[in-house]
DNA sequence: CTGGGGACGGGGCCC
DNA sequence: CGGGCCCCGTCCCCA
């Protein structure tokens, strides 16, 4: 029983405590509410007082300003008519942030036709939650056109509402931001564009332009050596080259423009279609090329050859050569080196003529380049389908053609002193001791590059070149400088580097005596400094 | 900022 | 197959 009584007692105490607690909470809340109401009342009263004082201050200011303005008007009336609006100090102060001006003050100044004062002209000024009426004194100008510039100057000099500031700045600056000519020269960051332009649409557009530009800059600035596709050249297995040899000249000429344009696209990455997307000219270019090749079903061919589906724009142009070759493989035999030439490329045309003249000479024992292809096929076929670089190929052909001709003119095969060199190049008549050497040499003319790198699709005419090139990927640098421990992948580079330590400068300019460590430096120097002398000679 | 020059890497090709 | 040379392009430094 005692336990029961104790439990009842505890229960009663708990209930009483709860009631007391609730009562205390209620009383606290009531007190807070009351104090809050009082506080709010005091606040409102203070605000009313503030408004009253403010109006009084405004009235005083108005009076003072009116007195000043009347004095000024009298002076101006004596001097000349006013040329611009003068906004009172009151407004200037607000413009600097002392007041809070928003859209309401857009109608702040109105040009009037009379040089008269208007008192108590009111404008609506947003003061946060509500609006209040501000009395402003304005000196009105009779010349409305003269007003606006002055107003803008007044607004722009203070820290106004950001929105307003943006409204002002989105005039000429935003136009400059959208200017497609200006933008590429000075790519802006996204943030800076946002600051200037203000409106989301402009920001978006500017951003797009900037990114486009960035893409272009990045890709056009990339090292072409790293990507043989740069010049729009196909991957051509030996068999393809073989057919290239029998391409018709008509086709060759028809493709000249397309290839020439392809060289200018500057695209590098086959997986990147930015040039096609961004530059409509490139698109039309590609279509033009297609149309030009309408004689052959080159689309079908390309899809069969490049089944990987990564047929980019360059690939399209690249394939053109091979497709045409396929379709017109039975045409008259004229090597298509000129297919890589733009119209009017005299070097290539000369080469073509040269080639034709050689072909007519049946007395020359030539080694057909076709055999050279066959010899190299095992290497090329082991590689994945890749684009060869006909642009490089083209350059090589031209350079090698020049060299070959120089060699021929300088005594290549015709002046050869050895009767053993009875195997003549069919292009330059240079003599070689064995057919294999002729075949290798003729790649200089044909541009055949049977050795392709599996890492970067670079192709080489000689196996040693490929081997040497692969050090680029492996990073192998077996040659080290004994002076500075610098390492090189090639011995000749080390040799050149050693001149840095030895100070050897064997190449001297015949005009100024300046010496250089490399011949190419001398040549560049003479081109830059003494080209006029050479022209005079 | 610009042009000249040096260092260096890479490709072409002959021997 | 390696040595060697030439050429070109790029990057960097400096006047």
A480 CA from B10 C1′ (Å): 18
Residue A506 falls within a domain, yes or no? yes
Distance between CA atoms of residues A19 and A27, nearest Å = 12
pTM equals 0.34
A465 CA from B13 C1′ (Å): 10
| pLDDT value of residue A465 | 87
Nucleotides of B under 7 A from a protein CB: 3-14
A240 CA from B5 C1′ (Å): 45
Collapsing DSSP states into helix, strand and coil, what is residue A231? helix
Count CB atoms within 10 A of the CB of residue A498: 17
Distance between CA atoms of residues A289 and A465, nearest Å = 33
Query: Which H or E element spans position A487?
Result: strand A487-488
Could you tell me the CATH number of the domain that includes residue A516?
3.30.160.60
Question: How confident is the model over A55-75, as pLDDT tens digits?
Answer: 777 776 776 666 655 544 444
A468 CA from B10 C1′ (Å): 10
| pLDDT value of residue A25 | 61
Per-residue pLDDT of chain A (537 residues; tens, 9 = 90+): 344 454 545 557 566 677 677 776 677 646 656 665 655 667 667 777 777 777 777 776 776 666 655 544 444 433 333 333 332 233 333 333 333 333 333 333 333 333 333 333 333 333 333 333 333 323 233 333 333 333 333 333 333 333 333 333 333 333 333 333 333 333 333 333 222 333 333 222 333 333 333 333 333 333 333 333 333 333 333 333 332 333 323 223 333 333 333 333 333 333 323 232 233 333 233 323 332 333 333 333 232 222 222 223 333 233 223 322 222 233 333 333 333 333 333 333 333 333 333 333 333 344 433 333 333 333 333 333 333 333 333 333 333 333 333 333 333 333 334 446 677 888 888 777 778 888 888 888 888 888 888 888 788 888 888 888 888 888 888 888 888 878 888 888 888 888 888 888 878 787 787 788 887 788 788 777 776 554 433
Around A34, how many Cα atoms within 13 Å sit in the side-chain half-sphere?
A: 6
- Whether A317 and A259 have beta carbons less than 8 Å apart is answered as yes
- Whether A190 and A203 have beta carbons less than 8 Å apart is answered as yes
Whether the CB of A492 is less than 7 Å away from nucleic strand B comes out as yes
Residue A510 falls within a domain, yes or no? yes
A512 CA from B1 C1′ (Å): 27
Q: Which nucleotide is nearest to A527 (CA to C1')?
A: B4
A165 CA from C13 C1′ (Å): 45
| pLDDT value of residue A33 | 66
Around A520, how many Cα atoms within 13 Å sit in the side-chain half-sphere?
A: 1
Rg (CA), chain A: 43
Tokens representing A290? 């297609």
Residue A404 falls within a domain, yes or no? no
> A116: burial class by Cβ within 10 Å (0-12, 13-18, 19+)?
exposed
Distance between CA atoms of residues A220 and A313, nearest Å = 15
Residue A140 falls within a domain, yes or no? no
| pLDDT value of residue A520 | 79
Which residue, counting CA atoms, is nearest to the C1' of nucleotide C8?
A520
Give me the residues near strand C, CB below 7 A: A 221, 223-224, 463-464, 467, 490-492, 495, 518-520, 523
Whether the CB of A403 is less than 7 Å away from nucleic strand B comes out as yes
A525 CA from B3 C1′ (Å): 12
| pLDDT value of residue A422 | 73
Distance linking the first and last C-alpha atoms of chain A = 136
Residue A495 falls within a domain, yes or no? yes
Whether the CB of A399 is less than 7 Å away from nucleic strand B comes out as yes
Residue A523 falls within a domain, yes or no? yes
Residue A487 falls within a domain, yes or no? yes
Structural domain tally of chain A? 1
Q: Which nucleotide is nearest to A506 (CA to C1')?
A: C5
Q: Which domain holds residue A530?
A: 477-536
Tell me the H-state helices in A229-312. 238-244, 249-265, 274-278, 280-292, 298-305
A92 CA from B6 C1′ (Å): 61
Residue A253 falls within a domain, yes or no? no
Distance between CA atoms of residues A13 and A95, nearest Å = 67
| pLDDT value of residue A261 | 32
Tokens representing A505? 């400068």
């Amino acid at each position: 029983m005692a336990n029961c009584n104790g439990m009842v007692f505890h229960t009663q105490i708990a209930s009483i405590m709860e009631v007391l607690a609730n009562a205390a909470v209620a009383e606290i809340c009531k007190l807070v509410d009351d104090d809050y109401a009082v506080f709010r009342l005091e606040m409102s009263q203070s605000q009313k007082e503030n408004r009253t004082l403010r109006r009084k201050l405004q009235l005083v200011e108005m009076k003072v300003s009116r007195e000043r303005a009347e004095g000024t008007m009298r002076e101006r009336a004596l001097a000349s008519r006013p040329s611009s609006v003068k906004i009172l100090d009151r407004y200037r102060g607000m413009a600097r942030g002392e007041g809070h001006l928003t859209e309401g003050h857009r109608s702040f100044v109105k040009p009037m036709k009379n040089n008269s004062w208007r008192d108590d002209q009111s404008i609506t000024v947003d003061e946060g939650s509500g609006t209040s009426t501000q009395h402003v004194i304005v000196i009105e100008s009779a010349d409305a056109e003269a007003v606006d510039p002055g107003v803008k100057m007044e607004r722009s000099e203070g820290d106004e509402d950001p929105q307003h500031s943006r409204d002002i700045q989105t005039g000429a600056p935003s136009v400059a931001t959208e200017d497609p000519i200006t933008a590429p020269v000075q790519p802006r960051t996204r943030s800076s564009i946002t600051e200037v332009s203000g409106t989301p649409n402009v920001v978006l557009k500017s951003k797009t332009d900037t990114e486009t530009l960035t893409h272009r800059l990045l890709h056009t600035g990339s090292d072409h050596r790293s990507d043989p596709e740069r010049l729009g050249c196909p991957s051509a297995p030996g068999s393809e080259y073989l057919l290239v040899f029998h391409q018709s000249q008509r086709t060759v000429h028809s493709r000249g423009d397309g290839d020439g344009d392809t060289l200018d696209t500057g695209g590098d990455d086959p997986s990147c279609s930015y040039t096609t997307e961004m530059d409509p000219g490139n698109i039309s270019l590609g279509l033009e090329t297609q149309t030009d090749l309408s004689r052959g079903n080159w689309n079908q061919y390309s899809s069969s050859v490049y089944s990987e589906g990564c047929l980019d724009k360059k690939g399209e142009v690249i394939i053109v050569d091979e497709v045409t070759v396929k379709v017109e493989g039975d045409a008259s035999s004229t090597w298509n080196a000129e297919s890589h030439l733009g119209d009017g490329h005299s070097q290539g045309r000369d080469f073509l003529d040269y080639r034709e003249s050689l072909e007519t000479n049946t007395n020359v024992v030539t080694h057909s380049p076709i055999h050279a292809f066959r010899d190299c096929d095992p290497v090329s076929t082991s590689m994945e389908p890749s684009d060869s670089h006909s642009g490089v190929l083209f350059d090589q052909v031209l350079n090698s053609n020049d060299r070959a001709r120089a060699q021929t003119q300088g005594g290549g095969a015709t002046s050869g002193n050895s009767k053993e060199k009875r195997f003549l190049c069919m292009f330059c008549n240079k003599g070689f001791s064995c057919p294999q050497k002729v075949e290798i040499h003729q790649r200089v003319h044909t541009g055949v590059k049977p050795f392709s790198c599996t890492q970067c699709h670079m192709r080489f005419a000689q196996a040693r070149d490929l081997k040497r090139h692969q050090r680029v990927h492996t990073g192998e640098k077996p040659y080290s400088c004994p002076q500075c421990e610098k390492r090189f992948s090639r011995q000749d580079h080390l040799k050149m580097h050693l001149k840095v330590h030895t100070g050897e400068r064997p190449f001297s300019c015949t005009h100024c005596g300046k010496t250089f460590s490399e011949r190419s430096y001398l040549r560049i120097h003479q081109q830059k400094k003494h080209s006029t002398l050479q022209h005079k000679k």
